[in-house]
Amino acid sequence: KLGFPASLQSGVHAFISMILTRILAQWGPTPVAVTSVGSQIESITWMTTEGFSTAISAFVGQNYGARNYERVKEGYYSGLKIVGVIGLFATILLMVAGEPIFRIFTPEDALAISQGKIYLWILGISQFFMAIEIGSIGGFNGLGRTHIPAITGIVLNGLRIPGAYILSGLLGMTGVWWSISISSIFKGIVLTSSLLYVLKKGLKA
């Protein structure tokens, strides 16, 4: 029961990614390859923060079960600070050093490097928000409220499709990347604000 929302979200996310790839493909194979490589570079952020998210989930769950609600808050706040620092570092790194980082993976392809720099700059903007989103998912999971991040993720990830069509019509292929980045920003804001509200309002077992 608790795992179903996350499983559904993963399935929907995979479907959305296929649609976005199809949209990108109209500009040729390079943007598709750039997105694939760029997402692997990005994965350093979410893989790192997911480790802390798991720790947040375990800590919150243990103390929530023991009705130690102050410890729940303290644990989440501490975890949020850590993932926030990681996300901020990733944001600065990708926006400032995107070109040399991408060059490591495609040293001979000037077009891919040029587009990769743009991709990492656009997605770099959202790294901080993605990090706090992942940390907040851990908090909600610890409270047993897995449906909240799942619903938020499905809705806002789903908006990437119309967003990509609209923005790519205005900005070209970068519009697809902006759609992804903007949705990540909103997910971070919505989920973190929601959990902070829940904690401020008060917890009940």
Residue 158 lies in a domain: yes
Cβ distance 90 to 45 under 8 Å? yes
Angle between helices 110-124 and 29-65 (to 10 degrees): 30
By three-state DSSP, how is residue 144 classified?
A: coil
pLDDT at 1 exceeding the cut of 70: no
Residue 146 CA to chain centroid, in angstroms? Answer: 16
Residue 188 lies in a domain: yes
Residue 61 lies in a domain: yes
Q: What are the tens digits of pLDDT across the range 115-142?
A: 999 999 999 999 999 999 999 999 999 9
131: nearest Cα among 63, 80, 73: 80
Between 5 and 56, name the one with better pLDDT.
Answer: 56
- The boundaries of the domain holding residue 183 are 42-201
Cβ distance 23 to 176 under 8 Å? yes
Q: H or E segment at 125?
A: none
Residue whose token pair is 């976005």: 20
pTM over 0.85, yes/no: yes
pLDDT at 6: 66
Q: H or E segment at 50?
A: helix 29-65
- If one counts the domains in the chain, the total is 1
pLDDT at 205 exceeding the cut of 60: no
Q: What are the tens digits of pLDDT across the range 45-89?
A: 999 999 999 999 999 999 999 999 999 999 999 999 999 999 999
Please compute the mean of the pLDDT values over residues 20-43 and round it to a whole number: 95
User: How many Cβ atoms sit within 10 Å of the Cβ of residue 7?
Assistant: 11
Residue 7 lies in a domain: no
Residue 46 lies in a domain: yes
Residue 28 lies in a domain: no
Residue 29 lies in a domain: no
What DSSP designation does 204 have?
-
Residue 19 lies in a domain: no
- Per-residue pLDDT band at 10 (split at 50, 70, 90): confident
